[in-house]
Chain A
Amino acid sequence: MQNGHADEIAKLVEPGRVHRRVYTDPDLFEMEMERIFGRAWLYVGHASQVPNPGDFITTELGRQPVIMTRHRDGSLQVLINRCTHRGAKVVNERSGHAPRLVCCYHGWAFDTDGTLATVPVPEGCGEGFDKDALGLGRAPRVGEYRGFVFASLAAAGPSFEDHIGPMKRNIDDLVDRAPDGELALDAGMHRYVYNGNWKLQVENVLDSYHVPFGHASTVNKQGVQFARREGDRSGAAVVEGEKKQTTASWKDRKSYIVGNGHGWTSNTSLDEGKRSSPAFDEYKHALAEKVGEQRAADVLTPRLHNSLIYPNMSIMGLNIHVRVIKPIAVDRTEVNVFPIRLVGAPAAMNFGNIRLLNVTHSAASFVQTDDLESFVRAQKGLQSRMTDWVDISRGLGAEEPDRELNATRGLATHEMVVRAQYKAWLGYMREAA
């Protein structure tokens, strides 16, 4: 892929298949960094990671190093982590607190809104030295919804509301589980990497087809997965046993798309009536105290399994966490998994969530590691030049409108969501940045 003409890129995506080059071609990857990660609304971080003025975190948007700070006026700033003098990365810590961001090389000091505050040996600056023009670069557009901070590296494009609007209810679904209606992403993170394309992880978060096969090692002889949530006696039935399962099968799960590449899958069927433990019961009580019995029961009724906010983050509803996907190279991706503390929930409940997330989604977990193996093997298999196409045709033509949710619905074991992601992908990729 040398030129990136729209018609050539359009040939890579057909109704039920995509060309293997979308996963393997380094030139296409460079184009994705400009055309998708260079302008889409990307998840940056959560407001709770920088609670006080001077707090910062560093991360990457695509491959752009950025700093998210809390400025004196309380505003959140998304700054480019690159000194405007000679180009050094200014902040080298993952998180911290500093009244000023000082470059290690020559000591240029920036305020937490990016303004260039002081330059050592200022008498050496020439006549036309314009300090005001030498503030840190910044994301041209930043938006926040209930603590979730997104930024676009392009000055123009669809608004934050246009992009995130249809997924707000998915964010609400998670935030409303906190008795105080607030989340804190202050429980560290899991970091894993794999030798595979970033889209393999993006496609996987809404893929319910792989569960019984990809995660066979996590289910017992009766086809039931280990208990993954605080208070559960057992997990979901994900393999068809010889006897009919008492809980509904994973096959009943639905998937939904709402444009922009976003989508979600409906709840995992677990026996909610039997969910009980001291920590869970105390949490349920704390939630009811704050929002009332009826509302608490409604909040605790699982509706969502996983939600994808294309292109770089997902909200996972079973073992609650936020997942951020960071492309490194065409065949290398880092993923960050953030445990969530439900503000107002008893410490034991939050510990239950953290403890079980360790075994479902740390780099050493029972669930995620088999996914990583699948991604690595996909990347290896896709090197084959003997077969060009990747099949994503399951359920093609079986999509139906869901008027109540204002979405398009399919079965979660179909591949409607992947096709929707490639539709969004094409939308970004056909247009030169």
Chain B
Amino acid sequence: MLLKKRKREEPDINGSSMADIAFLLLIFFLVTTTINVDTGIGLVLPPPLEDDQEPPPIKERNLMNILVNAEGRILMDDEPKQISDVKPSLIEFIKNPTNDPELAETPDLAIVSIKTQRQTPYKIYVNMLDEVMGAYKDLRDEASRANYGVPYGALQDQSPQQEQVKDMYPKKISIAEGGDN
């Protein structure tokens, strides 16, 4: 009886913990929300050729021609390949560990040319580009680990170390215009 009476005298809710609840909610949303980060495959286009300008001469052995047709079939230097074989054979082409006269002279001279048809779906093209990027990533990782003991991604941006690894394996990718052949 006594207890009941006291309760009625002070009916307000203890609001001091409201701030804590607000902060908890705030932190909850901060943690759970992923802010949309743009991700993608970066590429630098070559400058357009002047009309009277000849393309620079490239030795045939330094050039890896990758042809992708609209069905997603791949030819690498006239050899049919599966998409899963692209990466290992690219790495072999760029590094040329056995000094094969057919493969690139030195890694920094190697050029990868991707040629697709106009009808090729974008998805197939990106898959192809992804493989090429993967090959270069592996090579750069390997070089970076051998020289500095850390993967390439751990090197600081624009540091001399990163530049050196970049110079060892420059990404020279040519996106050829979609011919119909």
Decide whether A and B are members of one complex. Answer: no
